[in-house]
Amino acid sequence: MRDSEATCIEHLRERARRSVPRMFYDYVDAGSWSEATYRANARDLAALCFRQRVAVNIAGRHQGSTMAGRGVTMPVALAPVGFAGMVHGDGEILAARAAESFGVPFTLSTVSICSIEDVAAHTSVPFWFQLYIMKDRAFVESLVGRAKRAGCSALVLTLDLPMQGLRHKDLRNGLSAPPRLGLRSMIAMARRPRWCAAMLATRRRTFGNIVGHASGVEGTLSFADWVSKQFDPSVSWDDVRWLRGLWGGKLILKGIMDVEDARKAVEVGADVVVVSNHGGRQLDGAPSSISALPSIVEAVGDKLEIWLDGGITSGQDALKALALGARGTMIGRAFLYGLGAHGQAGVRRSLEIIQREMDLTMALCGMSRIDEIDRSMLTTRSLAALGVR
């Protein structure tokens, strides 16, 4: 299938499955533990139904909006994802360029393969930087300084990973960057010649923000080992306040699933919270992010901007989140499948698919603008099933 032939994210996922070596495909298409929360994200979105409306003038539709003060062609940002440069050679640069050309924000993960400086050198619109708070606070400070110097326009602080969730597939596959060269991994890679060609053409094969920057980190890095040694289980709201001062710009807190935590986010002066369970990759058994959204919107929706991620694989999913009060959304796997399938063109394709689905759905629901969207777009019966009054 060529880029132009993929008409839904599922086509891109299937293509990515056949293009990306198992270790990295499994890293993307998996949740933690039993994957119950990973499945719940998609299931609860699917259970919401739209109200079909007719004879409404929908001639002047568009999806333009703002996210954290930035104009966007649709309120769908690329979420921070680790290892994107292992899903496709130079993955973060390619995804950032696709986002830039489409007019949506790109977020670079702390555990990216391409570094902050690399992505800045290959893009012309400021991107966002995602940070994990690590034990080595001097390294955290240096990352924040590097993000500032690179012109990043917002800091996304991820709070739901003080320790890594149990991800069986990654442990079984021995996930690392670069991949360790055993017989099994060599055979797996040899069966993916286009992936190999892109990897051989780049020098970016390990964690660009970390290796050579954090003290004592060299060469091949086992992600699980590094996270368990470096991520700080003592992180508290005081640390968030400290970072707020250190950064001084727009602060987006990601991984908020509880009303009490959302209130704390307001207290520390966050600009945005992302209702997120890390795509079902952290606390398995947590509720779906869409089901956590309404109570958080009710509690703090008038005090800061609320976004949602988790399970969005279509424009319809994004609209459902907006209908329940999110001002913006983020996508992880939906763009990674495009990246794995066709590199930059695939990421762009995933964004085109989502926008086309948003546009068509808005039209058939009698909506012309993003700021018109509210709960009335969804049937009361499906809202009740999700516990929304």
Ligand X SMILES: Cc1cc2nc3c(=O)[nH]c(=O)nc-3n(C[C@H](O)[C@H](O)[C@H](O)COP(=O)(O)O)c2cc1C
Query: What positions carry a catalytic annotation?
Result: 278
Binding of residue 276 to ligand X (CB under 6 A): yes
Residue nearest to ligand X (CB): 332
Binding of residue 305 to ligand X (CB under 6 A): no
Q: Which stretch in 53-61, 76-84, 114-122, 135-143 sits in contact with ligand X by CB under 6 A?
A: 76-84
Binding of residue 311 to ligand X (CB under 6 A): yes
Q: Are 112 and 207 in contact (CB under 8 A)?
A: yes
Which tokens belong to 320? 């459902």
CA angle centred on 27, ends 24 and 28, rounded to 5°: 95
Residue 96 Cα to chain centre, angstroms: 13
Element (H, E) at 40: helix 36-47
Provide the minimum distance between the beta carbon of 389 and ligand X in the complex, in angstroms, as a whole number: 26
Q: Which is nearer to ligand X, 179 or 279 (CB)?
A: 279
Q: Tell me which of 72, 74, 81, 293 binds ligand X, using CB under 6 A.
A: 81
Query: Exposed, middle or buried, 45 (CB in 10 Å: 0-12/13-18/19+)?
Result: buried
Interacting residues with ligand X between 324 and 353 (CB under 6 A): 331-334, 336
110-129 footprint of ligand X as x/- string (CB under 6 A):
-x------------------
Q: Which stretch in 136-144, 190-198, 307-315, 339-347 sits in contact with ligand X by CB under 6 A?
A: 307-315
Nearest by Cα to 310 from 327, 290, 284, 291: 290
**Which distant-in-sequence residues (6+ apart) come within 8 Å of 263 by Cβ?**
299, 300
How many CB atoms neighbour CB 86 within 10 A? 28
Q: Tell me which of 278, 320, 342, 349 binds ligand X, using CB under 6 A.
A: 278
Provide the minimum distance between the beta carbon of 27 and ligand X in the complex, in angstroms, as a whole number: 5
Binding of residue 165 to ligand X (CB under 6 A): no
Q: Which stretch in 79-87, 179-187, 220-228, 365-373 sits in contact with ligand X by CB under 6 A?
A: 79-87
Interacting residues with ligand X between 36 and 75 (CB under 6 A): 41
Interacting residues with ligand X between 185 and 214 (CB under 6 A): none
What is the DSSP code string of 286-353?
Answer: SPPHHHHHHHHHHHHTTTSEEEEESS--SHHHHHHHHHTT-SEEEESHHHHHHHHHHHHHHHHHHHHH
**Which distant-in-sequence residues (6+ apart) come within 8 Å of 376 by Cβ?**
51
Q: Tell me which of 11, 192, 250, 254 binds ligand X, using CB under 6 A.
A: 254
Binding of residue 320 to ligand X (CB under 6 A): no
How many CB atoms neighbour CB 205 within 10 A? 17
CA dihedral sign, ordered 165, 168, 169, 170: positive
Question: What does the binding site for ligand X look like in residue numbers (CB under 6 A)?
Answer: 27-28, 41, 79-82, 109, 111, 130, 158, 254, 276, 278-279, 281, 309-312, 331-334, 336
